[in-house]
Copies of this chain bind each other. A is one copy, B any other.
Amino acid sequence: MEIVLLGTGAATPTLHRRPTSTAVILNGEISLFDCGEGTQLQLLKAKLRPGKLARIFISHLHGDHFNGLIGLLTSLQLGGREKVLHLYGPEGTKDYLAFMQNLTGFRFDYILAVSEFDGAAEEIIWEFDACTVTARPLQHRIFTAGFRFEEKPGLGKFDSEKAAKLGIPPGPLRSHLQNGKSIELPDGRRIEPVEVVGPPRPGKKVAICLDTQPCENAVKLARDVDLLIHEGTFEHARVKLAGETGHSTVVQAAEIAKNAGVQRLIITHISARYREEEAVALAEQACAVFTRAVIGRDLMRIVV
């Protein structure tokens, strides 16, 4: 699984931090989390082909998280997209798309399958071929969802040596076992998968939590993930401002990472008030709490 940070800025973009967007690439298929202004160009810069886009999740309807949506959807149409695109967004997403289509007279020839969600359910799980995505409400000024992206467990390792010893011929019988089905050999012996197949390889897990104050649901989403992407809009001296604006400091992001037992933390949604070189000081604050923390940069790629 590969993650590309397309935009690591906050409400006001800067020349080195674009508005929020994160691409998660699994089996060549892109899941996009948030779509700030200019995301379509960041995809181009990252050499991520828009045709590989399978689904888009919008965390909340603040402009810096979705102002790039309509441009991206339009460019997909102009690029000749035919296959369905799934869009998951808060209540209001459908209204927004209907309003914009009416205003501009734009038509989509591909199917844009929009699913809205709200804070009514404590947890929503969407299941796809190769992954599941879980959403939980975070704590921001308006309804905002955090996400957990889980690769489905892989097939267990097949023990060819043991299979040979048991007299299982190469071919379909071995495939059956690999896929979790028991078989019967010509001599009548019954073989269970567990005899020749190791435990399923756990899938990689990523959590994406922004915008939010520190909250229990961020910890739940991030529990034991390989990578947590959490907002840290401010340095810790501005913890009061962070609270007032529904954001976290870099130290609070690190505390969430620590409490959730994550492998690595990337802090994003960095306020425009910090110059590029100030990221070092922000990282130092976070690392004092959780050592495997880094401050995200636009177009940073992470393999998990």
CB distance from A269 to the nearest CB of B (A): 14
The interface bits of chain A over 287-303 (1 if a CB of B lies within 8 angstroms of the residue's CB, else 0) are 00000000000000000
Given A63-B104, A67-B70, A70-B63, A13–B40 Cβ distance below 8 Å? yes
A54-108: which have CB < 8 Å to B?
61-64, 67-68, 70-71, 74-75, 78-79, 92, 95-96, 99-100, 103-106
Question: Which of B13, B18, B61, B100 is within 8 Å of A104, CB to CB?
Answer: B61
Q: Decide if A11 is an interface residue (CB 8 Å cutoff).
A: yes
Residue on B with the closest CB to A76? B12
Inter-chain CA distance A100–B61, complex, in Å, is 10
Copies in the complex: 2
Question: Which of B18, B63, B70 is within 8 Å of A106, CB to CB?
Answer: B63
Q: Decide if A281 is an interface residue (CB 8 Å cutoff).
A: no
CB distance from A296 to the nearest CB of B (A): 18
Residue on B with the closest CB to A74? B63
Q: Which residues of B contact A45 (CB under 8 A)?
A: 15
Residue on B with the closest CB to A73? B63
Question: Which of B44, B74, B79, B100 is within 8 Å of A15, CB to CB?
Answer: B44
Q: Are A11 and B74 in contact (CB under 8 A)?
A: yes
Question: Which of B41, B74, B99 is within 8 Å of A99, CB to CB?
Answer: B99
Inter-chain CA distance A14–B19, complex, in Å, is 18
Question: Which of B15, B37, B61, B103 is within 8 Å of A103, CB to CB?
Answer: B61
- Sorting the interface of chain A by its residue count into under 10, 10 to 19, 20 to 34 or 35 or more gives 35 or more
Q: Are A13 and B41 in contact (CB under 8 A)?
A: yes
Q: Decide if A142 is an interface residue (CB 8 Å cutoff).
A: yes
Inter-chain CA distance A92–B63, complex, in Å, is 19
Q: Which residues of B contact A37 (CB under 8 A)?
A: 37-38, 40, 67-68, 71
Inter-chain CA distance A207–B103, complex, in Å, is 26
Question: Which of B13, B95, B142 is within 8 Å of A105, CB to CB?
Answer: B142
Q: Are A78 and B11 in contact (CB under 8 A)?
A: yes
CB distance from A67 to the nearest CB of B (A): 5
Q: Are A71 and B67 in contact (CB under 8 A)?
A: yes
Residue on B with the closest CB to A60? B104
A103-123: which have CB < 8 Å to B?
103-106
Inter-chain CA distance A103–B79, complex, in Å, is 29
Q: Which residues of B contact A63 (CB under 8 A)?
A: 70-71, 74, 100, 104, 106
Question: What are 8 inter-chain pairs, A to B, with CB distance below 8 A?
Answer: A11-B74, A11-B75, A11-B78, A13-B41, A37-B40, A62-B106, A63-B71, A105-B142
A contact residues vs B (CB 8 Å cutoff): 11-15, 18-19, 37-38, 40-41, 44-45, 61-64, 67-68, 70-71, 74-75, 78-79, 92, 95-96, 99-100, 103-106, 141-142
